[in-house]
Amino acid sequence: MSWPLLLNTTTFCNAKCKFCIVYDKLNRPELNMSDEQVYETLRQSRAGGSTEVGYSGGEPSIDPRIVDFVRYAKQLGFTHQSMNTNGIKFKQKKFCEDIIDAGLTSIDISIHGHTDELHDGLVVKRGALAAIREACVNLRELGRTRRFHLSATIVIARDNHQHLRDICVFLDSIGITHKRLKYAYEGNMSHDMIIDQVAPYQEVVPSIQDALSYLATQKWGFCITHIPMCLLGEHVAFSQDFERRNAVMMFDNHKVYGDPGHYFRKDADTCSQCVVSNLCTRLDGGYEQFHGRPALVPFTDHEQIEALFTSALAHFPRAAESIRRTLDLYRRNRNVEQPRKQVVKL
């Protein structure tokens, strides 16, 4: 199968993000993938035609084997290797050089605040944002001689949503131009901290729209994900969820085929009649348990979607290229099947 591979090589992490969806599985060595599991999975995936692999965790950068894994994947012929990271390890210049020279082509750093107090508080790690500033200096310098993509993901939580625009401006100041805004809830409220940080949609949507309006005046790429599309208005034109992102997710004792954005979700019934229910991350049954049912207005026909794209093109001319690209994704994917997942025990 030629789907991208997502490897969760380690459960170890050097932070304790308040909204972490795998908080209950962190720092459990018995759940870490073995060397042979990783190498065999890479071989099988490449033999099946895949050329993309992403590394997650836990925190993949602190896995002492990670540079070897990346190097081996490059030798096998993986041409795109990405990492979701808290960025702390990248303050070490030698690590930056080693991992990029080994074959890493894309780095996405999770950054949730524009001040040390806000970011460090959300990841429960003193000095975390200072480390990211150092990391960005290292990566900007390496970018002069190496080719790789650098981006950031902002997880939208109760403590930071009112500062989203400021966070985006801060990211510009440290050289991160491509930005993804991601609502904190992914379908797992297994601990009190994440329950506390998942703010109701009606509280965060105005802040999201404000930040997206700012980003639409810039020249770099950006998107929003994990928010029901019907809540975004014309800003739906910036939703990443029009793209179906199937992958093979590999863990220590099982693998999952499907869209990672739907891995934990338990869909509620209110979205079943919406014409984009096959693409939208939709309302989740777990969310309803804690926040009730928001005022969703499901789309009844595709003309409504087209009209919102038309409105976005009129209001955000500097983002026209991005809007047209998303519109094309929507038109190509609007009739795909509902997302499904298949879990295979190993």
Does residue 41 have a pLDDT over 60? yes
Q: Which of 62-66, 89-93, 291-295 has the lowest mean pLDDT?
A: 291-295
Q: Please give the domain boundaries of the chain with CATH numbers for all domains.
A: 5-345 (3.20.20.70)
pLDDT class for 187, splitting at 50, 70, 90?
Answer: low
pLDDT class for 261, splitting at 50, 70, 90?
Answer: low
**pLDDT at residue 338, rounded to an integer:** 76
pLDDT class for 174, splitting at 50, 70, 90?
Answer: very high
Does residue 312 have a pLDDT over 70? yes
pLDDT class for 188, splitting at 50, 70, 90?
Answer: low
Does residue 265 have a pLDDT over 70? no
Does residue 125 have a pLDDT over 70? yes
CA pair distance 305, 313, nearest whole angstrom: 13
Q: Could you identify the residue written with the tokens 């409220």?
A: 189
Q: If residue 225 lies in a helix (H) or strand (E), which one and from where to where?
A: strand 222-225
Cβ atoms of 19 and 193 within 8 Å: the answer is yes
What does the pLDDT average to over 62-83? 98
DSSP result, 163-188: GHHHHHHHHHHTT--EEEEEES-SS-
CA pair distance 242, 58, nearest whole angstrom: 27
Does residue 226 have a pLDDT over 80? yes
High-pLDDT (> 90) share of the chain, % = 73
Which carries the bigger pLDDT value, residue 268 or residue 3? Answer: 3
Residue of 78, 150, 71 whose CA lies nearest to 107: 150
Give the burial class of 337: count Cβ atoms within 10 A of its Cβ; 0-12 exposed, 13-18 middle, 19 or more buried.
Answer: exposed
Task: Among 15-24, 47-56, 239-248, 331-340, name the most confident range.
Answer: 47-56
pLDDT class for 211, splitting at 50, 70, 90?
Answer: very high
CA angle 96, 57, 238 (to 5 degrees): 85
**pLDDT at residue 345, rounded to an integer:** 81
